[in-house]
């Protein structure tokens, strides 16, 4: 019997995502000036106020207040009418030094024996249903908001958009887990109060989303996904009514509160640990990236059509306590899940220091992860400039989204005789 599956996304202007982007930009700046920095930075945003908290051990000093303001302005909160802007909000820093009790469990004289920064389990997932090996409903949800943000910044086709928005896509699947059609699309976008007649204003917003945004998204997608769009899609556009009050003035935002948006949209599994604001010694982040890297390369190599990889750690211990694989009965090799997991252990060194080195994680690469998902994006090399009133100006060439590279496909094919 056919079934429905839904995933959601939120925009860069969503309060929780503002918090994530501030935390990750602080992390990037610490790593740019001291790559061995240990950072666990949390952010709270609310009406006219930003609170920075957490633990840092670093040889550099930053103007964290100005960094937070710059992020807020970059996102688009630049007008007093939003009741939250980078130039006028208060910024309180409660950041202090990392606990020596935690640090003693992580640092080692021999770098390769670096212990895990915390206990816990992390998951990586990949599926063949999209070209980027991501769940389709989540992929479309992200694309909708990325395009909506582009329209907002251009201010031409749609000139009333504000930064806060959310999307949601529901897809019908057949018994063999093949997408059949898009059933429903939900999109709520913050907007200017551009018409005294609310009904007329909401009608205009709905028409613009369906006639301008959706075609832009559809055009990006491969033909087999375009065919899932149909005349029977149920559209819920700003279903609660007008959405003028939004962003941190409408709802407080916190770092790490959108972990399903950040990963696989409800597909696979999640260990519960957030990513943003954490340096790669925290396996919540680095091992989740490594697990995605493994899952994606396994699927791309043809081991299975869908794969979930789980890894777990004890704080202060280098070797994982477990590595597990679930192929959801989609395996293309005559091996059990346990046997596949044993092969994974042979191919991938999952000690924290090895993950950091393999994926080049001690670089300032994290601001770009903090909106529209940490997984499924295209690896690329960029040049980034960082400035500090205390440490001067520095230019870094860094590789983004290394965990999305298909650089282990040949090794996997050889190991599995594919």
Over residues 319-344, mean pLDDT: 97
| Pairing status of strand 38-46 against strand 322-326 | unpaired
Report yes or no: 112 and 240 within 8 Å, Cβ to Cβ: no
- Minimum mean pLDDT range among 90-104, 281-295, 393-407: 90-104
pLDDT of residue 108: 52
Confirm whether 252 is a catalytic residue.
yes
231 is in an annotated binding site: no
Q: Comparing C-alpha atoms, which of 72, 40, 37, 38 is closest to residue 54? A: 40
243 is in an annotated binding site: yes
Confirm whether 377 is a catalytic residue.
no
Over residues 187-192, mean pLDDT: 96
Identify the burial level of 377 via C-beta atoms within 10 angstroms of its C-beta, where 0-12 means exposed, 13-18 middle and 19 or more buried. middle
Of 282, 285, 362, 367, the active-site residue reads 282
Using alpha carbons only, give the angle 18, 22, 24 rounded to the nearest 5 degrees.
Answer: 115
Backbone region of residue 97 per phi and psi (left: phi > 0; alpha: psi in -120 to 50; beta: other values): beta
Band the pLDDT of 377: cuts 50, 70, 90: very high
Query: Which residue has better confidence, 287 or 106?
Result: 287
Alpha-carbon span 37 to 46, nearest angstrom: 28
Band the pLDDT of 116: cuts 50, 70, 90: confident
Confirm whether 397 is a catalytic residue.
no
Q: Is the pLDDT of residue 106 over 80?
A: no
Model pLDDT for residues 255-266, shown as the tens digit of each residue: 999 999 999 999
Of 108, 113, 206, 252, the active-site residue reads 252
> Distance of CA 91 to CAs 64, 267, 396, Å?
9, 37, 27
Q: Is the pLDDT of residue 352 over 60?
A: yes
Q: Is the pLDDT of residue 47 over 60?
A: yes
Model pLDDT for residues 193-217, shown as the tens digit of each residue: 999 999 999 999 999 999 999 999 9
Band the pLDDT of 107: cuts 50, 70, 90: low
Of 107, 195, 251, 387, the active-site residue reads 251
3-9+136-246 against 120-128+269-415: fold identical = yes
Over residues 55-75, mean pLDDT: 95
Q: Is the pLDDT of residue 104 over 70?
A: no
242 is in an annotated binding site: yes
Q: Is the pLDDT of residue 100 over 70?
A: no
Over residues 76-89, mean pLDDT: 92
Give the rounded percent of residues in the chain with a pLDDT score beyond 70.
Answer: 96
Model pLDDT for residues 128-173, shown as the tens digit of each residue: 999 999 999 999 999 999 999 999 999 999 999 999 999 999 999 9
Confirm whether 227 is a catalytic residue.
no
Its pTM stands at: 0.95
pLDDT of residue 98: 65
Of 129, 139, 208, 284, the active-site residue reads 284
251 is in an annotated binding site: yes
What Rg do the C-alpha atoms of the chain give, in angstroms? 22
Of 34, 53, 55, 204, the active-site residue reads 55
393 is in an annotated binding site: no
Give the rounded percent of residues in the chain with a pLDDT score beyond 90.
Answer: 91
As a CATH number, domain 120-128+269-415 is 3.30.300.10
Confirm whether 284 is a catalytic residue.
yes
150 is in an annotated binding site: no
Of 278, 292, 296, 362, the active-site residue reads 278
* Widest pairwise Cα distance in the chain: 68
Confirm whether 16 is a catalytic residue.
yes
pLDDT of residue 27: 98
Over residues 363-382, mean pLDDT: 98
Report yes or no: 21 and 28 within 8 Å, Cβ to Cβ: no
pLDDT of residue 103: 52
Over residues 292-296, mean pLDDT: 98
- Minimum mean pLDDT range among 5-14, 90-99, 362-371: 90-99
154 is in an annotated binding site: no
Q: Is the dihedral of CA 274, 276, 280, 281 positive or negative?
A: negative
Of 166, 358, 367, 374, the active-site residue reads 166
Confirm whether 166 is a catalytic residue.
yes
Tell me what the pLDDT averaged over the chain comes to. 94
Confirm whether 203 is a catalytic residue.
no
Domain boundaries, the chain: 3-9+136-246, 120-128+269-415
Confirm whether 278 is a catalytic residue.
yes
Q: Is the pLDDT of residue 102 over 60?
A: no
Band the pLDDT of 288: cuts 50, 70, 90: very high
Q: Is the pLDDT of residue 68 over 70?
A: yes
pLDDT of residue 2: 93
278 is in an annotated binding site: yes
pLDDT of residue 110: 61
Confirm whether 343 is a catalytic residue.
no
147 is in an annotated binding site: no
Over residues 319-334, mean pLDDT: 96
Q: Is the pLDDT of residue 56 over 90?
A: yes
Confirm whether 55 is a catalytic residue.
yes
* Answer CATH for 3-9+136-246 from 1.10.10.60, 3.30.530.20, 3.30.300.10, 3.40.50.10490: 3.30.300.10
Over residues 288-315, mean pLDDT: 97
Quote the crossing angle between the two packed helices 64-75 and 15-33, to the nearest 10°: 130
Model pLDDT for residues 206-253, shown as the tens digit of each residue: 999 999 999 999 999 999 999 999 999 999 999 999 999 999 999 999
Over residues 24-30, mean pLDDT: 97
């Amino acid at each position: 019997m056919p079934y429905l599956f839904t995933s959601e996304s939120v925009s860069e202007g969503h309060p929780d995502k503002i918090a994530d982007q501030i935390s990750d930009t602080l992390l990037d700046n610490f790593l740019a000036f001291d790559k061995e920095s240990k950072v666990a930075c949390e952010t709270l945003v609310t009406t006219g106020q930003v609170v920075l908290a957490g633990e840092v051990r670093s040889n550099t000093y930053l103007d964290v207040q100005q960094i937070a303001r710059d992020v807020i302005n970059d996102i688009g909160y630049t007008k007093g009418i939003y009741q939250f802007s980078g130039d006028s909000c208060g910024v309180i820093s409660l950041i202090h030094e990392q606990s020596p009790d935690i640090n003693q469990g992580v640092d080692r004289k021999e770098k390769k024996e670096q212990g895990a920064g915390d206990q816990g389990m992390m998951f990586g997932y990949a599926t063949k249903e999209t070209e980027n090996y991501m769940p389709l409903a989540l992929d479309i949800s992200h694309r909708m908001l990325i395009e909506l943000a582009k329209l907002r910044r251009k201010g031409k086709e749609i000139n009333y958009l504000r930064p806060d928005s959310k999307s949601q896509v529901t897809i019908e699947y057949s018994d063999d887990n093949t997408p059949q059609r898009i059933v429903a699309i939900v999109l709520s976008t913050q907007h200017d109060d551009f018409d005294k007649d609310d009904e007329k204003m909401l009608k205009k917003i709905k028409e613009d989303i369906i006639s301008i945004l959706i075609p832009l998204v559809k055009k990006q997608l491969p033909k087999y996904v375009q065919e899932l769009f149909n005349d029977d899609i149920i559209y819920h556009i700003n279903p609660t009514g007008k959405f003028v009050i939004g962003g941190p003035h409408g709802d407080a935002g916190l770092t790490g509160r959108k972990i399903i948006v950040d990963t696989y949209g409800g597909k696979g599994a999640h260990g519960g640990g957030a990513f943003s604001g954490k340096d790669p010694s925290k396996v919540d982040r680095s091992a989740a990236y490594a697990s995605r890297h493994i899952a994606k390369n396994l699927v791309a190599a043809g081991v299975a059509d869908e794969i979930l990889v789980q890894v777990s750690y004890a704080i202060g211990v280098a070797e994982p306590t477990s590595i597990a694989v679930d192929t959801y009965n989609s395996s293309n090799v005559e091996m059990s899940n346990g046997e596949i997991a044993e092969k994974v252990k042979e191919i991938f060194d999952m000690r924290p220091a090895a993950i950091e080195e393999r994926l080049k994680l001690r670089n300032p690469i994290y601001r770009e992860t903090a909106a529209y998902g940490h997984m499924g994006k295209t690896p690329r090399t960029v040049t980034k400039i960082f400035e500090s009133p205390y440490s001067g100006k520095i230019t870094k060439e860094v590789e983004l989204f290394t965990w999305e590279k298909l650089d282990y496909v040949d090794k996997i094919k050889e190991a599995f005789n594919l």
